[in-house]
Amino acid sequence: MFAVIKTGGKQYRVAANDVVKIEKLEGEAGAAVAFDTVLMLGGETIVVGDPTVAGASVAGEIVEQTRGPKTISFKKRRRQNSKRKKGHRQHLTIVRITDILTGGETGAKAKAAKAPKAKAEKPAEETAAQA
């Protein structure tokens, strides 16, 4: 089974256990990420979204944060004795796809990545004693 996801303004065809380089995402190595913008699911039956597939998501894990190769932009103007050289390295995130979830399922890692950390609540006995 494969899926087509959209992230960082680009589309990627991914399957379970694939490693892809995508635009920079916030997070440390080992953190779980979830991609909810699934444009298409493939396998025995193909499901094309309108514009996205309802209830589908892709779970992944950040492998590392890195930078792409250096690209050089060189401009030279004839007869003006003018030239400019500028370099650029794009920030990238390497992600390992762990699972493709369909039908509104949620993976444990994807769920943990989306859920905000809740503050520790006081036990019921303490709150009853204070009242």
Higher pLDDT, 107 or 26: 26
- The answer, yes or no, to whether residue 129 has pLDDT greater than 80, is no
According to the model, what pLDDT value does residue 108 have? 52
Chain segment 100-116, per-residue pLDDT in tens: 998 776 655 445 545 44
According to the model, what pLDDT value does residue 104 have? 72
Tokens of 116: 């905000």
According to the model, what pLDDT value does residue 61 have? 96
According to the model, what pLDDT value does residue 41 have? 94
The residue segments making up the domain with residue 72 are 2-130
- Which residue type does 125 have? E
According to the model, what pLDDT value does residue 109 have? 47
The rounded distance, in Å, linking the Cα atoms of 21 and 99 is 17
Instruction: Check residue 18 and report its DSSP letter.
Output: -
In three-state secondary structure terms, 110 is: helix
The rounded distance, in Å, linking the Cα atoms of 82 and 56 is 53
The rounded distance, in Å, linking the Cα atoms of 27 and 2 is 25
The rounded percent of the chain whose pLDDT value lies above 70 is 79
pTM greater than 0.85: no
- The answer, yes or no, to whether residue 84 has pLDDT greater than 80, is yes
Domains contained in the chain, number: 1
Tokens of 109: 């890692």
